[in-house]
Structure 1
Amino acid sequence: MDGAAQFGATRFVVASEVRPHATTVGELVEEAKLAAGALQGLGVGAGDVVAVQLPNWYEGAVLQTAAALVGAVVLPIVQIYARREVEFIVRESRARVLVIPGEWRGRYYPDMLPAMGSLPDLEQVVVIADNVPAGALSWDDLLGPLAKPWSMPVLDPRSIAMLVYTSGTTADPKGVQHSHESLLAEVWSDSSASASAAEASTLAVFPSGHVAGLLGLLRVLVKGAPTVTMDVWDIATAARLIDEHRVTFTSGAPVHLSGLLDAKDNGEAALETLKEFLVGGASVSPSLIERADRAGVVAYRCYGSSEHPTVTVGRLEDSLDRRANTDGPPIAGNELRIVDDNGVDVAPGEAGNIVTRGAELFVGYRDTSLDAEAFLEGGWFITGDIGTLDQEGYLTVTDRKKDIIVRGGENISSKEVEDVLATHPDVADVAVVGAPDERLGERVAAFVIVRDGKSLELSDLAAHCAAAGIAKAKTPELVRIVQELPRTAAGKIRKVDLRNELRR
């Protein structure tokens, strides 16, 4: 609680139409102590799992902090997950407490509870709502009748502190376990140096169910970054908050950065105070970084995952070319290699499999049977991504291994094609996947969102690719114009959905 004592007056604002809240870090921690005492009174202690499926609300921040105070394992759950996913996560994690909203965005979350199967480890359900269903605890219960003096536990730094389930771009989500050591290594790393400066002000857009959302809360508590958080992503609201709270730094996926730049271009916001944007969580087009630079925002890329939150990050002092075309060098304490399919290092500049290790690397999956295929000898984590390392040690992620398109035996990087298409003036957003083909195996297919008032044909994209000088085999042979792209809660495009659509 050293951070709370040092940064007690630091502001923490929740921007929400349904549960707005403005407070300080000191007040948040005091209420977290009350909730922590209540959890201890309910028998929750070190190693027990507390699952929280709340939007970026004040109550969620308090309860995640309270769970940490009693030494419990904090389990944030993505808000869009429904009965099937929540049941799977609660059962596999053996959560003892589940915290959910009442009604939010047209969904009444307690409705899923009776339909869940047997969950023998789940003892308490807390519902954050004005009217709480029978059998559940309320927010007032935790801070009122159940509140007891909190007793600080003695913890092993290597014990599990956080459990987060991957966002489900594949099949059932995997439970990623982090220790107290790995979380603090990430929080104290230089990946967030700018966001934690005393004069900085941060806008937090990642949902609390995402690893970046919880890490953002930890940075508020440990490093005292004044923060405004949103419970629903809305471009106009985000732009207004930046101007109103004089936000200097934010981070997010490409969809967040492009939306803010659109708001500035349309005259909806000034964004005069916004100086930095750390962009990651999905493939980043160089043209987006260049566009931000023209708008006066220094944007730089990063690379990481739930398993290894920040492996590399660009630097403010890097040239525009570096920031636009690489994902930066490894941060202090991290190592990475580029290896072939036999685990042998490849030459600088040659593409291969990215493997990593470092202090903030997770300690293993909840389902330990998944660990054997996740690591190479020596503790190197197999990320499943493809990339290159240059002579100066800067990483460039070129694709997900599963997103490589194999056309007639030739490997095509979907990201390379996306980066080319993103430079077309009429393309607002794009995702490229492989379309099944009996003769070639796969062909290049592009799902495109066009800018307002514009139209695009396949021939337009073909001409653009030809002008860009890429191989004809990489040119899209199928284009679908869409109003939106399916995304995870963290903003990643769900390419599995796009592939499934092409198979129908």
Structure 2
Amino acid sequence: MGGSDGVGGSDGVGGSDGVSLSSVFDRRVRTSPRAPAVRDVGGEPVSWGELGDRVTALAADLAARGVRPATVVSWQLPTSVEAIVLLLALCRLGATQNPLLPVYGDRELDFILRQARPALLIVDGADPARTAAARRVAAAVARDGAPIDVLAWGKDSPARGGPLAPPTGVAGRWYFYTSGTTSVPKGVVHADRAVLAAGRTLVERLGLRPDDRYGAVFPLCHVGGPAWQVAAMLVGFETLCVARFTDEAISALQDFDVTIAGAGPPFFLAYLAAQRALPAGRRLFPSVRAFPGGGTGRPPDLDARMVAAFGAGIVPTYGLTEAPIVCMGRLGDSPAQRATTEGIAAPTARLRVTAADGGAAPAGSDGEIQLRGDHLMLGYLDPELTAAAMTPDGWLRTGDLGRLDAAGYLTVTGRIKDVIIRNMENVSAVEVEQVLATHPGVTDVSVIGLPDGRTGERVCAVIVPAAADAPPSLADLTGWCARAGLMKQKWPEQVELVDELPRNPVGKVAKAQLRERYLPGADTAAAAPR
């Protein structure tokens, strides 16, 4: 295990069975027209037949606006029935869609629009401030290239607008952006093949059934969102769309009688808190049978706590924007496997672990996790990034450290890259440092991730203040990040003051020393409001 051939299913590097996401949807509409497909929190269920009619109507409207096969359409909408209709309509038209996380600010949007070059940007018309900001950014980007039509969803007619720019750029059905493993997000190009492979993995590992009820608490515009829609279309279960994860959302999941509840440690901890608040003997989710979710660094006792509270355990997943749900546990896994591993390779994925010299790491030894198979991206929008990320024999270098046991179960042990994983989203320490370094009250800065029982890791800024007697406060620094357009989940949550940063002989900041110094419990920690 862990050798050059890797472990897992078929190779599938370049092959495809010719099935599209749209064809899977059309088959489900024909098979189950009256069965419930999806609903919003507080809304009525929409059947598969009704969903098909709405997709057909919207596809016609978008075609009238000029959306064609390979037209790049960026969209930034909360998880909702309408967002699913849009996703499926764009699939029906063969457009290249670029889902954007709602938390992306002006800074990320500007970069993405300049690289992806969409002809159409769709934003939430219910948020006038965000719509105005999106129009402003799109206009600035368009001054350096082709115009970008902006549609305020729910306000503007999808069928009316100026002529769209012709399709350009890299072939592919999807442009997903990473949440920050470098100073800027990486544009990842996927075909339907990867999304379908991820969805099939969910069906196989969870034994999904038509009578399941899935709570979509993770953003639809995240790479895992379309994968869950594929699973729903393959099996025919109903989805509850959760636009914002709040106490009210947990109540809605309870009313929905959810059977599959995701999507990672922050959500699981919230479910446990809600369960503790109930009277003795009352179950929050009486019908739940699995808690699938990713996010390394989960507390080792979390699965046991979930089983004790709900009678169902965690089914761990591992993946990247570049290769979604490439590894996943199974319902029958042992408590130790659920607690400490991320499962085994998906049916059409392969994993290997390599030593520092590029050779195979022995079973049980740490090395870099590398991937290939149907889940793998076509490449990055930046070809230089693609060349750097792929090995000569076609494996993706993940930058993650881990080990494979003799049975093929993967344990993630660390990261090569300087990345903070907060609420299962990557935060680039370099990007946050670049923003904070421009603050007039900051002479030097280093950003590190510290363990956090709620979010996995929190962002800690260690700064050398320009004036020791008047250092910037945490509120000063988060306000500065907001004005710089940095998305909120990247803002520092803790600030520490030092006279100078520790550095190694070549001048690099000794971040390991800083992490040891500021582990949880330090008296100087100041928690940011959230």
Please tell me the TM-score bracket, short chain as reference: 0.7 to 0.9
Deviation sequence 1:266-318 (CA, Å, 0-9, x none): 21862211120012044322221121121112212111011110121111111
1:253 is matched with which residue?
A: 264
CA contact (8 A) 1:431 1:446 kept: no
Hey, what's the Cα distance between the residues in 2 that align with 1:42 and 1:180?
24
1:114 is matched with which residue?
A: 136
Would you say 1:125 and 2:150 are equivalent positions?
yes
1:7 Cα offset (Å): 2.8
Hey, what's the Cα distance between the residues in 2 that align with 1:446 and 1:250?
37
Hey, what's the Cα distance between the residues in 1 that align with 2:385 and 2:194?
19
Hey, what's the Cα distance between the residues in 1 that align with 2:200 and 2:454?
36
Picking from 347, 355, 376, the partner of 1:332 is 347
Q: Percent identity?
A: 27
CA contact (8 A) 2:70 2:172 kept: yes
Hey, what's the Cα distance between the residues in 1 that align with 2:224 and 2:110?
23
2:199 is matched with which residue?
A: 187
CA contact (8 A) 2:197 2:374 kept: yes
Change (3 A) 1:349 1:432: farther
Moved more, 258-267 or 207-216: 207-216
1:321 is matched with which residue?
A: 336
CA contact (8 A) 1:191 1:313 kept: no
Picking from 282, 285, 306, the partner of 1:271 is 285
1:461 is matched with which residue?
A: none
1:367-386 to 2 correspondences below 5 Å: 367-386=382-401
Which amino acid in 1 is paired with 2:126?
E
Hey, what's the Cα distance between the residues in 2 that align with 1:347 and 1:255?
33
Q: Give ranges in structure 1 of 5+ residues lacking alignment.
A: 147-157, 406-413, 449-455, 459-477, 486-504
Give 3-state SS (helix, strand or coil) of 1:68's partner. Answer: helix
Hey, what's the Cα distance between the residues in 2 that align with 1:70 and 1:431?
40
Moved more, 380-389 or 203-212: 203-212
CA contact (8 A) 2:293 2:315 kept: yes
Deviation sequence 1:399-437 (CA, Å, 0-9, x none): 1212599xxxxxxxx99x95xxx7xxxx65653789753
Which amino acid in 2 is paired with 1:161?
R
Which amino acid in 2 is paired with 1:210?
H
1:45 is matched with which residue?
A: 68
Hey, what's the Cα distance between the residues in 2 that align with 1:218 and 1:12?
12
Hey, what's the Cα distance between the residues in 1 that align with 2:71 and 2:39?
28
Give 3-state SS (helix, strand or coil) of 2:371's partner. Answer: strand
2:457 is matched with which residue?
A: 431
2:108 is matched with which residue?
A: 85
CA contact (8 A) 2:224 2:325 kept: no
Change (3 A) 1:301 1:58: same
Deviation sequence 1:360-389 (CA, Å, 0-9, x none): 111101111211111112210001100011
2:214 is matched with which residue?
A: 202
Hey, what's the Cα distance between the residues in 2 that align with 1:7 and 1:402?
46
1:15 is matched with which residue?
A: 40
Give 3-state SS (helix, strand or coil) of 2:123's partner. Answer: strand
1:224 is matched with which residue?
A: 236
Deviation sequence 1:141-190 (CA, Å, 0-9, x none): 47xx99xxxxxxxxxxx961111111125321111111122222222235
CA contact (8 A) 1:83 1:112 kept: yes
Hey, what's the Cα distance between the residues in 1 that align with 2:207 and 2:132?
37
Which amino acid in 1 is paired with 2:106?
R
CA contact (8 A) 1:195 1:225 kept: no
Hey, what's the Cα distance between the residues in 1 that align with 2:454 and 2:382?
40
1:287 is matched with which residue?
A: 301
CA contact (8 A) 1:279 1:301 kept: yes
Deviation sequence 1:31-85 (CA, Å, 0-9, x none): 1111112222233221111111111122211111111001111210111112232
1:22 Cα offset (Å): 3.4
Moved more, 56-65 or 225-234: 56-65
Change (3 A) 1:404 1:242: closer
Q: Give ranges in structure 2 of 5+ residues lacking alignment.
A: 1-25, 163-169, 421-447, 463-500
CA contact (8 A) 2:202 2:228 kept: no
1:304 is matched with which residue?
A: 319
Which amino acid in 1 is paired with 2:196?
L
CA contact (8 A) 2:34 2:48 kept: yes
Hey, what's the Cα distance between the residues in 2 that align with 1:428 and 1:369?
37
Change (3 A) 1:430 1:161: closer
Give 3-state SS (helix, strand or coil) of 1:41's partner. Answer: helix
2:96 is matched with which residue?
A: 73
Which amino acid in 1 is paired with 2:230?
L
CA contact (8 A) 2:123 2:134 kept: no
Which amino acid in 2 is paired with 1:217?
Q
Which amino acid in 2 is paired with 1:29?
G
Would you say 1:138 and 2:149 are equivalent positions?
no
Deviation sequence 1:91-125 (CA, Å, 0-9, x none): 21121111101233x84323331344142444532
Give 3-state SS (helix, strand or coil) of 2:408's partner. Answer: coil
Which amino acid in 2 is paired with 1:292?
M
TM-score when scaled to structure 1? 0.76
Change (3 A) 1:447 1:278: farther
Which amino acid in 1 is paired with 2:403?
T
Which amino acid in 2 is paired with 1:277?
F
Give 3-state SS (helix, strand or coil) of 2:387's partner. Answer: coil
Would you say 1:166 and 2:178 are equivalent positions?
yes
Give 3-state SS (helix, strand or coil) of 1:293's partner. Answer: helix
CA contact (8 A) 1:433 1:446 kept: no
1:264 Cα offset (Å): 0.4
CA contact (8 A) 1:194 1:200 kept: no
Which amino acid in 1 is paired with 2:157?
S
Hey, what's the Cα distance between the residues in 2 that align with 1:428 and 1:164?
26
Deviation sequence 1:414-465 (CA, Å, 0-9, x none): 99x95xxx7xxxx6565378975347923225878xxxxxxx844xxxxxxx
1:9 Cα offset (Å): 2.7
2:253 is matched with which residue?
A: 242
